[in-house]
Amino acid sequence: MLDATAVRLAAAVRSREISALEIAEAMLVRVEERNEALGAYLTVAGDAAREQARRVDERVAAGEALPLAGVPLAVKDNMCLTGTRTTCASKILANWVAPYTATAVARCLDAGAVPIGKANLDEFAMGSSCENSALLVTRNPWDLSRVPGGSSGGSVSAVSGGIATIGLGSDTGGSIREPAAFCGVVGFKPTYGRVSRYGLIAFASSLDQIGPIAKTVEDASVVYDAIAGKDPFDATSVDRPVEATAGYLREDLSGVRIGIVREFGLGELDPDVRLAYETAYRDLERLGAELVEVSLPTADYGVATYYLIAPAECSSNLARFDGVRYGLRVDGADVGAMYEATRSAGFGPEVKRRILIGTHALSSGYYDAYYVRAQKARTLIAGDFARAFARCDAIACPAAASAAFRFNAKSDPYSMYLMDYYTIPMSLAGLPSLSVPCGYVTPDGSAGPLPLGLELTTPLFTERTLLGLAHAYERGTLHAQRHAPPEIPAAASIGGAA
Amino acid sequence: MSALETGVRYEAVIGIECHVELKTVSKMFCGCRNAFGGEPNTNVCPVCLGLPGALPVPNRVAIEHVVRAGLAFGAEIPAFSKFDRKNYFYPDMPKDYQISQYDMPLTQGGVVEFWLPDGVKGSCRLTRIHLEEDTGKSIHGGSSDGRIAGSAFSLLDFNRAGVPLMECVSEPDIRSAEEAVAYLDALKRTFVALGVSDVKMEEGSLRCDANVSIREVGSAELGTKTEIKNMNSFRSVLRAIQSETARQEAILRDGGRVVQETRGWDEAAGVTHSMRSKEQAHDYRYFPDPDLAPIEFAAADIARLMPRPDELPQTRLAGLIEQEGLAVARAHQIVDDAALARYVDAVVVATGSVPASASFILSDPMRLANETGRAVYEALPPNAAAELIVLARDGRINSKTQKALLERVWGTNESPAEIVEREGLAQVSDRGAVEGFVLEVIAAQERSVADFRAGKETALKFLVGQVMKASRGKADPMVVEAVLREHLSARDPGVGTEDGSAT
């Protein structure tokens, strides 16, 4: 039962076949067994889980039809949950307890989900492998010597490794989609503004978006339906009706035109990866879709654009971590020395790198050359997508250029930044985009198969279309069922991680 | 030769930036109350504390207040405006950036008109008014001067953090400390009248900095400016600018150069002192706040927010000062007190004269109001005031009777006109009746008559007083004096007598 989908679990709880508390207790036992190996959770929220499970059982008993009744949830640890430690996987917030709950988390709880714990991430969501966590190593359930991807590595590892049924992640330039691809689960970034960011500790405000991580597209759509919609506490959340998605999932792709991006040629990929994606494209056709070539001529500037805008915003967003009011404080001779000592000790190297890049990009004399030009490039990239969508209903491409890599494989920052080559343009354009399992490769030296993800993207606010297409693909290919991650050892005896 | 010897004259060039806390129910970006004071850190929430993950949501009323403030001075309201982040570290700023407006403020341009006490009208162009959030308050302990440098500890209160603040930036059109105060006074008067702010300087709801330079009179070039901070009252603005212009003039006359810097006003010592020089200025790294959508205004929004002319104090002041010829202080006194202004209006309806009504109301009735602690409009109905004014103007009572009647009807709701009628208090202006009293007094006061005739003009005052006394105060003093002069000069028995030349 613990490995059932969210839809199945919630139905069982609603029909009183099993209680939310029973699920929570069983899941907490499994977390006890597996989390040491996986490193998915920074904080296991046993008390919060039991309390919420009891409340869900009461509400079910009172006749409430909760769509996520009793479903175990992993919350990325950059989202606030009242009374729990919320660390952003940073030393600077290592002991900060949130006094309020993020809107997206609150909506999941209101729909009946049970928070099992706070999941690891790259520090402040900056990274693509989860290796930038200052507090914990998270491993890929498919191969414990490999990274889960990032930055939502903990939530994805938890769902893939069976210690959560659903997860909440945040995606700034691919932080839901890339790890979902690496761990063989569904990761969905809705349109920017669809899901409230209130209570999500900001990395890059104009790009950050919360979204679901799930075993199936249907589960993802149920979570999306629960969390989407205007929030009076987030001025950037969009005030337009949310179309329910869960009841509108398609079974085939007939009549659908899917764009294949000319500039995203598969030629530079490893041959087995390339083969898997070529197969995925043929599967789309087999399911009835018409493939058309589209062009995103400026998408190649995505990574450069992103690494100006996101650091610029983060340099400002992370200023508040100064040792004055909360979090780490390292004393100094005066307030300036205290700031310097606190931030030097509290932030890891990648966070510092981005703060410095962003500070430089915004500074007097460089602002026009960097920040303003990056914003113009962003507008051009969004324009490319708009033109492409005149010719197709959705765009398909790899979610990442490879399967999960080993720890310490990307030694220089730039090669790590390129991991998000296929996900960043969609983030810059604010588009709804997801990764769905699409095949497997078995690289040399790998014990078993490693999953790959197909990224599907549709126009702004067309989440129903996107989830519908992804569901049809998932049903038509059964990649999610073809393999399962191997047994997770009860204790960690694994090398390879830093 | 020094400048002093050559007789070079200097003038001040002053621009003012002032921060005004807006009057709203809630703070700028959260639902906390916008209230002064309170136990430290009790009126706070995740948003105004800048807790991780909290987001700002703009207060619509605050935005509209700023637009109305700008429209009051004829400012342009751009169709598109936005919030920017001003990045710098300071302990009482919760996010270590301030949400403000950089290059697209809510209002641009406009002119503030003001009157100096001598009646001269001045004006100062506004550059812009923009909206931002206030910071918390710091108390630095263990240092001699209360500043953060050298302090042993600091206490922080975030109750004020996030209070909506508008910054009004003027062009350097102001030429004296007196004009600066008149300018600020005009802003204050307008903001209070529109209800956009209470403008309580003692609570820090209006704080201003002045950019001050001096130059030779007639020069078109600007001198090096200093920025003066820490001026906590209109009086300190006046003194600080006077002190700073004198300091700069002394430097120039000694052949020195003014250093561009920020200077703090020391109220107790009455001088400005250097705070930091331009070299230490911050790079604030402004950029558009990605948490807040741009603000857009349609023409209909602006039309709805446009203040009516009768809501604006400067409309009223122009009428009182320029058309009715009222003294500036009196005009301000009326316009600054809405209830008094309504009262004056009601009195004018009956008297038909603004100057007569205003000069009466602002003299004895205001004095009585202060003495008795009762408002004029409570203790003296407008029709009673009007009767007192008209009775005197028509010569039916003299000023002495007017005063006595005022004190008598004060707080009683009685009609002065009826009392005059009933008790026969009407002034005697009839020549015949006055003549009787005059002859009586001339007969009785030989000595004074002789003095007057000998050229002692003051003797006449005494004689007028005697006639008034004889008439029991009812005689019209103007008529009395005229009749007295007539009688004393028509027959002149004393001329050339020993009596007359003896004094």
Number of domains composing chain A: 1
CA distance A396 to chain B (A): 29
Residues of A in contact with B156 (CB under 8 A): 324-325
Paired residues of B133 in beta bridges: B164
Please name the residue of chain A whose CA is at the shortest distance from the CA of residue B154: A335
Mean pLDDT, residues A441-470 = 94
Beta-sheet strand order (sheet of B287-288): B97-100, B84-87, B287-288
Contact B87 A319 (CB under 8 A): yes
Please name the residue of chain B whose CA is at the shortest distance from the CA of residue A205: B290
Residue A123 lies in a domain: yes
Mean pLDDT score of chain A, rounded to an integer?
A: 95
- Residue B35, chain A, CB below 8 Å: the answer is no
Contact A367 B292 (CB under 8 A): no
CA distance A141 to chain B (A): 30
Alpha-carbon distance of A329 to A346, in angstroms, equals 8
pLDDT per residue, tens digit, chain B (503 aa), is 444 556 789 999 999 999 999 999 999 999 999 998 899 999 999 999 999 999 999 999 999 999 999 999 999 999 999 999 999 999 999 999 999 999 999 999 999 999 999 999 999 999 999 999 999 999 888 776 667 777 788 899 999 999 999 999 999 999 999 999 999 999 999 999 999 999 988 788 899 999 999 999 989 999 999 999 989 899 999 999 999 999 999 999 999 999 999 999 998 999 999 987 655 568 999 999 999 999 999 999 999 999 999 899 999 999 999 999 999 999 999 999 989 999 999 999 999 999 999 999 999 999 999 999 999 988 999 999 999 999 888 878 888 889 999 999 999 989 998 888 888 777 677 777 788 888 888 888 888 888 888 888 888 889 888 888 888 777 888 888 888 888 887 655 444 444 434 33
Alpha-carbon distance of B224 to B277, in angstroms, equals 12
In chain A, which among 14-73 make CB contacts under 8 A with chain B? none
In chain B, which among 78-97 make CB contacts under 8 A with chain A? 85, 87, 89, 91, 94-97
Residues of A in contact with B292 (CB under 8 A): 235-236
Residue A89 lies in a domain: yes
Residue A24 lies in a domain: yes
- Write the residue in A312, A320, A364 that is nearest to B94 by C-beta: A320
Q: Please give the backbone phi and psi of residue B412, each rounded to the nearest 5 degrees, phi first.
A: -110, -15
| Predicted local distance difference test score (pLDDT) of residue B278 | 53
What is the tens place of the pLDDT at every residue in A220-270?
A: 999 999 999 999 999 999 999 999 999 899 999 999 999 999 999 899 899
**Listed residue (A195, A212, A98) closest to A152, CA to CA:** A212
- Residue B285, chain A, CB below 8 Å: the answer is yes
Which segments of B373-428 does DSSP mark as H helices, in order? 376-379, 382-393, 399-409, 416-423
| Predicted local distance difference test score (pLDDT) of residue B281 | 64
For residue A479, name the pLDDT band (cuts at 50, 70, 90).
confident
- Residue B46, chain A, CB below 8 Å: the answer is yes
User: Over 70: is that where the pLDDT of A329 sits?
Assistant: yes
Residue A492 lies in a domain: no
| B251 and B258 Cβ atoms separated by less than 8 Å | yes
- Write the residue in A312, A324, A326 that is nearest to B287 by C-beta: A312
Contact A100 B51 (CB under 8 A): yes
| Predicted local distance difference test score (pLDDT) of residue B502 | 36
Residue B153, CA atoms < 13 Å, CB-side half-sphere: 2
Residue A305 lies in a domain: no
Contact B96 A319 (CB under 8 A): yes
- Write the residue in B53, B149, B287 that is nearest to A362 by C-beta: B287
| A191 and A460 Cβ atoms separated by less than 8 Å | yes
What is the tens place of the pLDDT at every residue in A86-141?
A: 999 999 999 999 999 999 999 999 999 999 999 999 999 999 999 999 999 999 99
CA distance B262 to chain A (A): 20
Who's near A114: CB < 8 A, 6+ residues apart? Answer: A20, A23, A24, A27, A49, A52, A53, A56, A70, A71, A72, A73
Q: Please give the backbone phi and psi of residue B343, each rounded to the nearest 5 degrees, phi first.
A: -65, -45
User: Over 60: is that where the pLDDT of A425 sits?
Assistant: yes
What is the tens place of the pLDDT at every residue in A133-151?
A: 999 999 999 999 999 999 9
Who's near B52: CB < 8 A, 6+ residues apart? Answer: A80, A86, A88, A93, A96, A98, A201, A320, A321, A326
Alpha-carbon distance of B396 to B389, in angstroms, equals 10
Residue A431 lies in a domain: yes
CA distance A373 to chain B (A): 13
> What CATH number has the domain bearing residue A212?
3.90.1300.10
The three-state DSSP-derived secondary structure of chain A is CCCCCHHHHHHHHHCCCCCHHHHHHHHHHHHHHHHHHHCCEEEECHHHHHHHHHHHHHHHHCCCCCCCCCCEEEEECCECCCCCECCCCCHHHCCCECCCCCHHHHHHHHCCCEEEEEECCCHHHCCCCCCCCCCCCCCECCECCECCCCCCHHHHHHHHCCCCCEEEEEECCCCCHHHHHHHCCEEEECCCCCECCCCECCCCCCCCEEEEEECCHHHHHHHHHHHECCCCCCCCCCCCCCCCCHHHCCCCCCCCEEEEEHHHCCCCCCHHHHHHHHHHHHHHHHCCCEEEEECCCCHHHHHHHHHHHHHHHHHHHHHHCCCCCCCCCCCCCCHHHHHHHHHHHHCCHHHHHHHHHHHHHHCCCCCHHHHHHHHHHHHHHHHHHHHHCCCCCEEEEECCCCCCCECCCCCCHHHHHHHHCCCHHHHHHCCCEEEEEEEEECCCCCCCCEEEEEEEECCCCCHHHHHHHHHHHHHHHCHHHHCCCCCCCCCCCCCCCC
Residue A23 lies in a domain: yes
- Residue A262, chain B, CB below 8 Å: the answer is no
- The catalytic site residues of A sit at 76, 151, 175
Residue A167 lies in a domain: yes
| Predicted local distance difference test score (pLDDT) of residue B495 | 43
Domains of chain B: 3-282 (no CATH), 306-423 (no CATH), 431-502 (1.10.10.410)
